[in-house]
Amino acid sequence: MDQNTLEKLKKEKNAVILAHYYVNGEVQAAADYVGDSFTLAKLATTIDANHIIMAGVEFMGETVKILNPDKQVYLPDPTADCPMAHMVTVEQIDAMREKYPDLAVVCYVNSTAEIKAKSDYCCTSSNAAKVVGAIESQNIFFIPDGNLGRNIEPLFPDKHFINNKGCCPIHDQVTPDMIKSLKEAYPDAVILAHPECKPEVLDLVDYKGSTKGIINAVKDLDREVNIIITEEGIRYELEKTYPDRTFIFPDLVCKGMKQVQLDDIIDILKTGKNEVHVDPSLAERAKLPLTRMLAICG
């Protein structure tokens, strides 16, 4: 389908396509907005459209629906999932609250609606430190990504972090030896990594930050060769933004993100399939930590 036909369908349906940087390049090219989790969460509250297609994994569709209960939200592939989103349980949260009366549960957006509903604050990789910095509680239960919690923990020596054992299976497979080998192979390159990686990996890189942060940092670091330690879907935006730079990627591919296909988006526009539904009472509870995040981070 050509771009003109796609635009005509979107206009007929009053639809907007949001896409994460990790989905395939052709999907990003068709989207109205492309961003990281925080950018997309903010956009979801401002979009003037009746229909929102979230080109990403399941928790992203849920999040958009929670923030837009009166809009119709769709996922190109409802089976596209994030393993990390299921790496903490309601029972774990309840047990921690019993153990620490002043506990603040800080929930990475890569989580289910059920887990958000049991949390006090949401955060993304780009604003986790800012969110924690706004919390008075001494005890922080950081869920579900333990690596992100460990990576911001040194910024808050006065707080007690309980970091969940969950992780992103893609970023967690990166090792210090992999980084050292890349440095040897490309001695003039800079290395930029996502904070879902282990702390011992981030100790060896030149920049650590969210996907949007990585994109911006390429300009600031101003080097010809850039080694990118995150899911390879970000290559599309990097090469579009910096056509004169070289980007080296290790083999980091998220199966869930790659399930998102342009044909499924077109089917949604034609048929209205794959609408996202979140129980209204659950959505209302899950919305609170998200709105707190947006209030703190603007």
Counting residues of the chain whose pLDDT is more than 90, the rounded percentage is 92
pLDDT band for 251, please (50, 70, 90 cuts).
very high
- What is the DSSP code (8-state) at residue 87? S
**Average pLDDT, integer, range 48-54:** 93
* DSSP H helix total and E strand total for the chain: 16, 12
| Domains, the chain | 3-81+258-278 (3.40.50.10800), 84-169+285-297 (3.40.50.10800), 174-251 (3.40.50.10800)
**Average pLDDT, integer, range 191-210:** 98
Give the H/E segment covering residue 220: helix 211-221
Determine contact, residues 171/197, Cβ cutoff 8 Å. Answer: yes
pLDDT above 90 for 95: yes
Beta-carbon contacts of 113 under 8 Å, excluding residues fewer than 6 positions away, are 59, 62, 63, 66, 278, 282, 283, 286
57-90: string of b/e by CB count within 10 Å (b at 16+)? Answer: bbbbbbbbbbbbeebbbbbbbbebbbbbbbbbee
CA angle 25, 26, 29 (to 5 degrees): 85
- Strand arrangement, sheet containing 121-123: 121-123, 104-108, 139-143, 160-163
- What is the DSSP code (8-state) at residue 150? H
State the average pLDDT for the chain: 96
Determine contact, residues 80/58, Cβ cutoff 8 Å. Answer: yes
Higher-scoring residue by pLDDT: 101, 227: 227
CA angle 42, 48, 50 (to 5 degrees): 110
**Average pLDDT, integer, range 234-257:** 97
pLDDT above 80 for 138: yes
pLDDT of res. 293: 95
pLDDT of res. 1: 60
Give the tens place of pLDDT for each residue, 146-172.
999 999 999 999 999 999 999 999 999
pLDDT above 80 for 2: no
**Average pLDDT, integer, range 136-144:** 98
